[in-house]
Amino acid sequence: MTLLFEILLTVSLVFCCAQVVAAWLHRRPDYAARRPAYQAAATSLPPVSILKPLSGLDDQLAENLESFCRLDYPSYELVFCLQDPQDKALPLVRELRARHPDAEISIVVGDYRGALNPKVANLIPGYRAARHELVLVSDANVRVAPGYLREAVSHLDDPRVALVSHLVRGTGAGTIGAALDNGYLNGFIFGSVSLLDRLGTSCVIGKSMLMRRAELDQIGGFEAVQGYLAEDFMLAALFKKNGRRVVISPAPVDRVCRDQETRGFLRRCIRWNAMRRTVSGPGYALEPLTNPTLLSLCLLGVAIATGDVTDRVLVLSGSALAAKVALDAGMHTLLGAAPRIRELPLTPVRDMLLIWAWAAGYFTRSIEWRGYTLSIARNTRLVSRGPFHPVDEAPAAHPEAVAATE
């Protein structure tokens, strides 16, 4: 029996090594060129509309939004999208606009109810108010370097590319929950996105998505994905169905997570797992085989239960735990987010919590939003369990929808 777990553990470690290699290959263009990320140059720099969906006060929101006012790019507008006139983020955005009177900043407060996906419901009124052909969706908890937009637009020099997304780097942890969350993003997610990309499957993370308006409208616009929880996954799938390419840039953007609680980290993982379950189907059951921490503990437990505790079992189990910590630290370093020494012991803790979240993903069939209970069906399609009355058109914009140059 121990032999079986020894084999599974070895296979799991090989998989983790493959993730690290894929991560290195994905980031290699930056290192090989011996230049910092964000320094790629586009041959043309057309104006861009940056859509920022907001809902409440994310960690260090003011600093995150400020970074978008300092982009090294000749012409772009910021369109802040909100659904509630009483949203706590609204005064902050007004202050930002006042500090940057020369910036093109619009605030669109809509009440679009045609989408089951809350983020898409937030985006659609802002998209309709946006003025430029290139449209970039960027989440509220994202912070970027000045050259971010130039680097993103450079990928559109290839006319076959319809969607540009980015690697995402977790930063700013001030709590254990935030450190767990950032470590998950910088380890498993970074490695999985890189490996899948090498295998020909672009795993888009919706924190940063750049598209051409004409091509987005061709696949049905944001309305085409308003009924899916994983709108980023579905956008990529629709573009590929149309014969277009999706690019995952090797230059990461920062996802700021500072004050996350551990239960918040678990809720996020369970939601992601529920989405992956509906997309992966039977393959979702194999995910625990990618967790060497679990398998090493299972090996040790089986050896104790069967009285077959040998030096080989002890060495393999202990070495696997140490290797997993080292491999995760290596991926964090490749992403430019080397972990602090005190965070290294969190790796096995996070791995065991992820197993619990994986199991919970099997039983998570619905989410709650704005008084509606929404079931998650295949490919993350959302289904209302109660009465839901979609609105085909967005209502008139709230009076706050004005430009900075007014």
The gap between the terminal CA atoms of the chain, to the nearest Å, is: 73
pLDDT at 388: 52
210-240 pLDDT, tens digit per residue, is: 999 999 999 999 999 999 999 999 999 999 9
pLDDT at 320: 95
Mean predicted lDDT score pLDDT of the chain: 88
Q: Give all strands (DSSP E) within 314-369, no chain letters.
A: 366-369
pLDDT at 192: 93
Instruction: Report percent pLDDT > 90 for the chain.
Output: 71
Residue 369 pLDDT exceeds 80: no
pTM, rounded to two decimals: 0.89
The residue type at 390: P
Contact between 355 and 288 under an 8 Å Cβ cutoff? The reply is: yes
The DSSP secondary-structure symbol of 133 reads: S
pLDDT at 54: 95
Reading the block at residue 336, the tokens are 């430019």
pLDDT at 385: 63
Task: Return the ∠ at Cα 54 (arms to 275 and 57), rounded to 5°.
Answer: 100
pLDDT at 151: 94
Domains along the sequence of the chain with CATH? 2-19+277-384 (no CATH), 34-260 (3.90.550.10)
299-356 pLDDT, tens digit per residue, is: 999 999 988 888 999 999 999 999 999 999 999 999 999 988 989 999 999 999 999 9
Host H or E run for residue 101: none
Provide CB contacts within 8 A for 326, sequence distance 6+: none
pLDDT at 402: 39
- pLDDT band at 367; cut points 50, 70, 90: confident
8-38 pLDDT, tens digit per residue, is: 999 999 999 999 999 999 988 654 343 444 4
90-112 pLDDT, tens digit per residue, is: 999 999 999 999 999 999 998 88
Q: In angstroms, what CA-CA distances link 264 with 87, 115, 143, 271, 287?
A: 21, 25, 21, 11, 22
Nearest residue to 145 (alpha-carbon basis) of 76, 47, 213, 70? 70
Q: Give all strands (DSSP E) within 142-244, no chain letters.
A: 142-143, 161-171, 208-212
